Chain A
Amino acid sequence: MPLLEINQLKKSFLTPDGDRHCVVNVASFKMEDQAQVVLSGESGSGKTTLLHLIAGILKPDSGSITLAGREMSALGEPARDRLRATAIGYIFQTFNLLQGYTCLENVLLGMSFGPGVDREFARSLLSRVGLAQRLKHYPRQLSTGQQQRVAVARALANRPKLVLADEPTGNLDHKNATESLALIRQACRENNAALLLVSHDRDVLSQFETVQPLAQINQTDLEEKSL
């Protein structure tokens, strides 16, 4: 059974003009356990919305998302929150670290709502991403690359089955981007997590064996916006 299966998924939003724009219209998408897939697409192509739907942050208008055998679309919000807390890790484009918390606390928060706090595991994750000496540092005291690594550690803190990464290298320079991508992929392998990454960066796309153009699976009425 695939880890992630999407069928006839639709999501639209009201524009300020009062029109309904369909942002996501995916007929079918599957992803196997521990697979690493990148969805390619330009800005505004609905990548983030799709990830939000998979993460249960948004509820689809119709269709189904099945993750690890559970149909998310049929779950109420608290159940989706619970599933996200236990089965999904999320790496945001701008990291979304909590500024008032240390690195360690940010990682602990990643596990607090799911399997529970495991300080040793949190420390080991931060050590794995090269931040063993930065546990008590606040995000503002870290470089961009270091913040991104904290975000990676946090995404793996709840031992997820699936890690969603939304343009994780978008804010990094080329060197950091390459290293970061390698780290994300390796860390996911080590923690037996599948990786679904969205990006428009050709350098990123070239690192993956499986590249799925979003336009091929997402039939929407959005205008494609170029960079």
Chain B
Amino acid sequence: MRQHALSTIITALSISLAGGLLMSVWTVKEQARATFTGVNGGFDAVLGARGSKLQLVLNAIFHLEASPGNLAASDYLDIKSNRFVALAIPIAVGDNYHGYRLVGTIPELFQQVEYAPGRHYELEPGGKFFDPTRKEAVVGSFVAQKMGLKIGDQFHPFHGLNFDTNAQHADIFTVVGVLRPSNTPSDRVIWIPLEGIQKMQGHDPKAATDVSAVLVKLKNSSPMAGFQLEQLYNKQGNRLTFAWPIAATIAELFDKIGWFDKVLALVAYLVALVATASILASIYNSMNERRREIAILRALGARRRVIFSVILLEAAAIATLGMIVAFLFYAIIMTGAATVIRNETGIVLDPYKFNPVMLWAPAALITLGALAGVVPAFKAYRTHVAENLAPTS
């Protein structure tokens, strides 16, 4: 390996890239699915205008996508008073601040909701939750960091879900609190009072009591309750959509794009195969140059099976070296992917969390690498000693 350092390094690097890619694709796929399906903001269901459940959940829980439409205040009050419902939190959307969504809601979201088991929304020191009657804002931690917003800052919202400098509202909001990181989509939105959205200058006054969606917490998270309400709204009614359970709705998204997963995985496997083939090519091509070296070793007493084993070990060593560096590539790829996902969704992936792929991918690639050494090893095994030693006298 030392003698052919350059080709060894290049071959090992190709294994590193393949291994890093394989581990990254697998980890992102699994963590993303687990994280996304695990995020529900502390709710069991979402009620919204008639339309796609997925769109409703993406809009209301993940703060992505446009709202499928509005609900009347009476719809909100109806579900709030339903005997199966423990808590109903209305939200309204339609404005942004430099691309970061403004979400109007009521203080109960912060006072009564556990966004994750045992976890309530908390503020950074010095802040307070907004007064529902005032134009005040509580900023998600990610937005605060990216936009440099702090307590006391004032800002104009912009109309729409996408930033347009020409769509600035005249209203001015004051930041009164910054949320501590929750590692949920809530980190990347700005929370304002429900009426802040409803009565924003320039919004339709006829819709001043409408909401975009209602986040629903069922009593005891009862599946029977969820089923009953699903029947009520989705089957018997035709105006509204009841998206329940939230996790299953998101899982549907991953099922729909499952083919993309498979394509990514296939690409990763192919890259791994090509990388191990490069081990075969590299060592095999060197066999011609190394015939004399092998003949000398045989002349010194090395048995054929020793030569065979040495070549196999060389192949495995290159693969092992590659896989050690693969973790560096994995860290780089995962850090990049986690950053993008955090930026886009607020969801945090953990690049350093253990995944079984970190065991089986190295084992598989090292084994494949060793197997790639079989053909060159066999060629070395068959080297004719006398013919390949120095010219005879």
Residues of A within 8 A of B (CB): 43-44, 47-49, 52, 55, 57-58, 77-78, 81-82, 84-86, 90, 92-96, 98-100, 109-110, 112-114, 154, 158, 166-167, 170, 198, 200
The 8 A CB mask of B296-333 against A (1 = contact, 0 = none) is: 11111111111000000000000000000000000000
Residue in contact with B393 in the complex, picked from A58, A86, A96, A170, CB distance below 8 Å: A170
In the complex, the number of residue pairs spanning A and B with C-beta atoms less than 8 Å apart equals 80
Contact size class for B? 20 to 34
A55 to B2, CA, bound (A): 30
Contact B393 A113 (CB under 8 A): no
Find chain B residues with CB under 8 A from A47 CB: 392-393
Which of B220-228, B276-284, B383-391 lies at the binding interface? B383-391
Are A48 and B393 interface neighbours, CB within 8 A? yes
Q: Separation in Å of the A131 CB from the closest CB of chain B? A: 19
Residues on A with C-beta less than 8 A from B393 are: 43-44, 47-48, 93, 166-167, 170, 198, 200
B288–chain A nearest beta-carbon distance, Å: 15
A78 near B303 with CB under 8 A, answer yes
Minimal beta-carbon separation of A141 from chain B (angstroms): 15
B392, A96: Cβ atoms under 8 Å?
A: no
Check if B171 is an interface residue, CB within 8 A of chain A: no
Which residues of chain B are near A98, meaning CB under 8 Å? 293, 296-297
What are 7 sample pairs from A and B whose C-beta atoms fall under 8 A apart?
A43-B393, A49-B386, A57-B298, A92-B390, A100-B3, A113-B301, A167-B393
The answer to whether A109 and B300 touch across the interface, beta carbons within 8 angstroms, is yes
Q: List residues of chain A with CB within 8 A of the CB of B298.
A: 57, 81
Which residue of chain A lies nearest to B2 when distances are taken between CB atoms in the complex? A100
Additional A-B contact list (19), CB under 8 Å, known A55-B299, A113-B302? A57-B386, A57-B389, A58-B386, A84-B299, A84-B301, A85-B301, A90-B300, A92-B390, A93-B392, A94-B390, A96-B299, A96-B389, A98-B293, A99-B3, A112-B300, A113-B306, A114-B301, A166-B393, A170-B393
Q: How far is the CA of A61 from the CA of B392 in the complex (A)?
A: 20
User: Please, which residues of chain A bring their CB within 8 A of the CB of B304?
Assistant: 77-78, 81
B169 within 8 A of A: no
Q: Do A81 and B390 form a contact, CB below 8 Å, given A96-B292, A96-B296?
A: no
Q: Which residues of B contact A92 (CB under 8 A)?
A: 299, 389-390
Identity of the chain A residue whose Cβ is nearest the Cβ of B295 in the assembled complex: A96
* Chain A residues in 8 Å Cβ range of B389: 57, 92, 96
Distance A121 CA – B302 CA, assembled complex (angstroms): 20
Q: Is the CB of B386 within 8 A of A93?
A: no
Tell me the complex Cα distance, A215–B298, Å: 29
Chain A neighbourhood of B301, CB < 8 A: 81-82, 84-86, 113-114, 158
Closest approach, in angstroms, between the C-beta of B318 and any C-beta of chain A?
A: 16
Contacts of A58 in B (CB 8 A): 386
Query: Which residue of the partner chain B has the closest CB to A200?
Result: B393
Q: Is the CB of B303 within 8 A of A81?
A: yes
Q: Which residues of B contact A113 (CB under 8 A)?
A: 297, 300-303, 306
- List B69-121 residues whose CB lies under 8 Å from chain A: none
Complex CA gap A181/B302 in Å reads 27
Residue of chain B at shortest CB distance from A88: B301
Say how far B287's CB is from chain A's closest CB, in angstroms. 15
- Which residues from B are CB-within-8-Å of A85? 300-302
Contacts of B385 in A (CB 8 A): 52, 57
